[in-house]
Amino acid sequence: MLNADEEKGAGSGSPFSSAPEDPSNLLLEVDQRRAQRESLLPVSPLKPLHDASGEMKDSIYEASGIKLGLTINHLFQGLSEAKPGMNTWGTTTDADLVASWELINRGKPSAGKLFAHLEGRWDYGTTGPQDLGFVNLGSQIGTGNAFSKYQPTVLIRNLYWEQGSQEAGWAFRAGKITTDAILGTSKHITPVTTFLPNAGTGFFVDAFPDSGLGAVGAWHPSDSFKVIGLVADANGNRYDWGDIGAGDFYTALEVAAKIVPGTGRADYSKLTIWHTDGTEDGAPINANTGKDGWGYSLKYEQELSKDGRLIGITRWGQSFNEAALYKYQAGANVLLYEPLGSKAGMKNDLLGLGLNWVEPTAAGSRDEYNAEIFYRFPLFPGVDTTLSYQSVINPALNPSTDHASVFSLRFRTVF
């Protein structure tokens, strides 16, 4: 069995990122979700698989220090409008397998770990929801972030060494990293458990490169304040190892603070300042248009109730020299945890409302608006279900359509 120090170390989240999809946070979420049993229906058809995988992972960790986690997310989505001749519905599955191997100072705040993150995405002969929004509707806000197939189906999304923690007061990470899962993030904003639009779940005004080689360091002088510095390959590409030898870099400084700490449910408020050298061939990738430029973003997050169940988030960002997907990006989110759960015998159900606006950099585009409302609840122990509706106003690259409705059904389970 693990001693007290090892149990504490095994339960630490990311010292850099608030994003639930960050490998450190994903492993922590898997453990927390495994322990949650309250749901609408008391018995899960996946219970034998959940129990067997949990026992296996516990044995592996005790014997070797290797911690494993698997998440499977599936999204069905339909549009009321699309460009002529294009599909109006689609479905995609996203799966993430994460492993951490504690090799130095196991279970202590200064532990050193090797992280590996494999991600697979596939559809079923349909158009993936992310492509439904970007391509078929002509949206620049998007309708289903992370839900489009990969070719090849599985790739290495993250592979890095990480040492330190918030408890230690310092940390660093080096290897293949995902910048947009580190900077400007919130634990309440993610396409796999809360909001769906790309602009509603990511700060793509920050011209993020794709997953690639880089390093990030964090200083935690207190529990409510941290400073993060990051440098990454501006040519980063999740499908390969980019081209760091070209000398094109993305650099950023982020200051994060909990302005009025309450129950601890609200996340850090953040100021991010960044610069990109652009890509070597001037071609766009991820949120980077390929041009040299800089910008900033602000996120303010606060508990709106004494019990921490009501969370408010506002976001604003601006880019210069047309270096990012958006010139301007703004958003507001309100989340109410357990609106019905205690009455229906559930735990951690969630009601969310998101409003987004962007001014894209793409030539011939127009300002676009998006409003989303969703309700997520645990259908079975270990299986979450989300119902979502989006109203897309003025799709930026489709002047013939002024409004479209988007209906989504999402399932998520963890092992």
**CA angle, residues 286, 290, 293, in degrees to nearest 5:** 105
> Is 322 contained in some domain?
yes
- Calculate mean pLDDT across residues 218-245: 96
Q: Model confidence at 106, in pLDDT bands (50, 70, 90)?
A: confident
CATH number at residue 70: 2.40.160.180
Residue 10 domain-assigned?
no
The secondary structure element, H or E, covering residue 90 is: strand 89-104
Q: Is 164 helix (H, G, I), strand (E, B) or coil?
A: strand
Residue 3 lies inside a defined structural domain of this protein: no
- Residue-wise pLDDT for 19-41, tens only, equals 999 999 999 988 888 888 888 88
* Residue 13 within any structural domain of the chain: no
The Cα angle at residue 399 between residues 398 and 404, in degrees rounded to 5: 65
HSE of 251 in the Cβ direction (CA atoms, 13 Å)?
Answer: 6
Name the nearest CA neighbour of 198 among 79, 356, 351, 47.
356
User: What is the average pLDDT across 66-95?
Assistant: 97
Q: Judging by DSSP bridges, how do beta strands 112-123 and 154-165 pair with one another?
A: antiparallel
Domain interval for residue 293: 23-414
Please report, in angstroms and rounded to a whole number, the separation of the first and last CA atoms in the chain: 21
Residue 126 in 3-state DSSP?
Answer: coil
For 70, other C-beta atoms within 10 Å of its C-beta total 17
Contacts of 283 (CB under 8 A, 6+ apart): 290
Instruction: Give the tens place of pLDDT for each residue, 334-357.
Output: 999 999 877 777 888 999 999 999
Question: Residue 152 falls within a domain, yes or no?
Answer: yes
Residue 14 in domain = no
Is residue 15 included in any domain, yes or no?
Answer: no
pLDDT reading at 374 higher than 80? yes
pLDDT digit string, tens, across residues 250-296: 999 999 999 988 888 899 999 999 999 999 999 999 999 999 999 99
Domain-embedded: residue 18:
no
The alpha helices in 138-236, defined as continuous H runs, are 198-201
Predicted confidence at residue 12, as pLDDT, reads 65
What's the structural domain count of the chain?
A: 1
